[in-house]
Amino acid sequence: MFTALNHPFVRLSFALLALSTLSACASTSMRAADPRDPFEPINRVSYAVNDGLDRALIRPSAKVYRAVTPTFVQIGVTNVFSNAKYPVTLVNNALQGKFSAAASDTGRFLLNTTVGIGGLFDPATAAGLDRHDEDFGQTFGVWGIGAGPYFVVPLFGPTTLRDGLGSVADDIAEPRSHLEDDSTRWSLWMFDKFETRVRLLDADAVLDRSGDPYAFVRSAYLQRREYQVRDGNVPTEDLESEFSEEESTPDSTP
């Protein structure tokens, strides 16, 4: 049975809370130029670890998967994992007061689960039911909770204090987390993360061309989350100016 206190996302959130508390005691030498990233020196080390693992193992594996797996199979796998996460979207639509979207998403989830054979196919899109993407991190943001400090967690990647806590609730709300068999539950979790990495392969070329990949990823993550919380109501010029600045800024950290 799923035990929430033993879940890695819960341990991650406690770690984020502890690090956030320590930020008040951080020395001047640890302070970064970007106030959203008070732990930049530590985060850069975590980023280097994650990037090394990605380049040595995960990215090559993702490329092989994309090369040998038929496109229709990849689409089907993506559909299944996307559909399985839809209960999270339904709950957060309601918590944000988006009842029309919640009703549409309920119809989408039911149609794809039944007619779409567990989400393998996507008849809901053909039926005109729009896809939405909501999570507890976004809900906390809509409720007025700030993002908090930015972190790069080894093996997990970028997050913020708010999103780290939100990910705990997200994971508990997913049906996968309540499967009895531990090996099945964790296998699905790992393949879900791997499938996400496959879909991000096209972004590698842009990242590799950036002057400071760490800063570029930070900017992309924070801007994307702000865009999601505001439902897209973010001035385009603000996004463009920040990305331009991050791309041209060299890595000044030894």
Least confident of 1-10, 27-36, 64-73, 146-155: 1-10
Residue 10 in tokens: 């819960």
Q: What angle do CA 206, 212, 214 make, to 5 degrees?
A: 90
- pLDDT per position as a tens digit, 125-161: 999 998 899 999 999 999 999 999 999 999 899 999 9
- Is residue 4 predicted with pLDDT exceeding 60? no
- Is residue 172 predicted with pLDDT exceeding 60? yes
pLDDT of residue 16: 53
Q: Under a CB-based contact definition with an 8 Å cutoff, are residues 11 and 156 in contact?
A: no
Write the Ramachandran bin of 32: left for phi over 0, alpha for psi from -120 to 50, otherwise beta: beta
- The H or E element spanning position 102 is helix 99-114
User: Rounded mean pLDDT of 189-200?
Assistant: 94
CA distance linking residue 177 with residue 62, whole number of Å: 24
- The H or E element spanning position 169 is helix 161-173
**Confidence band, pLDDT 50/70/90 cuts, at residue 180:** confident
CA distance linking residue 171 with residue 192, whole number of Å: 12
pLDDT of residue 178: 87
Percent of the chain at pLDDT > 70 equals: 80
pLDDT of residue 233: 86
CA distance linking residue 185 with residue 6, whole number of Å: 14
* DSSP letters for 43-95: HHHHHHHHHHHIIIIIHHHHHHHHHHS-HHHHHHHHHHHHHHTHHHHHHHHHH
| Of residues 6, 50, 8, the one with CA closest to residue 158 | 50
CA distance linking residue 100 with residue 178, whole number of Å: 28
Q: What's the length of the chain?
A: 254
**Reported pTM:** 0.80
**Confidence band, pLDDT 50/70/90 cuts, at residue 26:** very low
Mean pLDDT of the residues in the chain: 85
pLDDT of residue 28: 40
C-alpha distances (whole Å) from 248 to each of 24, 207, 243, 252 are: 30, 12, 9, 12
| Domains of the chain by residue range | 4-22+35-248
